[in-house]
Amino acid sequence: MNTTVTALPLLLAALFATLGTAKILALGKMRELAEKDGFSVTGFRPIGALEVAGALG
């Protein structure tokens, strides 16, 4: 159980950090997702910053 309690938060933090960084850097797929969801690329970057902040927390 202790391994799961440690591994799951680390996995989620890595996922949030990866996706957040991709949004901040405006990588190709994230540009497409921003347009699909009705955001500008500039508007998508703060969302990525919040994801990275969440991963660090």
Q: Count CB-CB contacts under 10 A for residue 48.
A: 21
Helices (H), the chain: 2-25, 28-36, 41-56
State pTM to two decimals: 0.84
Has residue 1 got a pLDDT over 80?
A: no
Which tens digit of pLDDT belongs to each residue from 5-46?
889 999 999 999 999 999 999 999 999 999 999 999 999 999
Three-state secondary structure call for residue 34: helix
**Roughly what angle, to the nearest 10 degrees, separates helices 41-56 and 28-36?**
110
Report the C-alpha gap between 29 and 35 in whole angstroms. 10
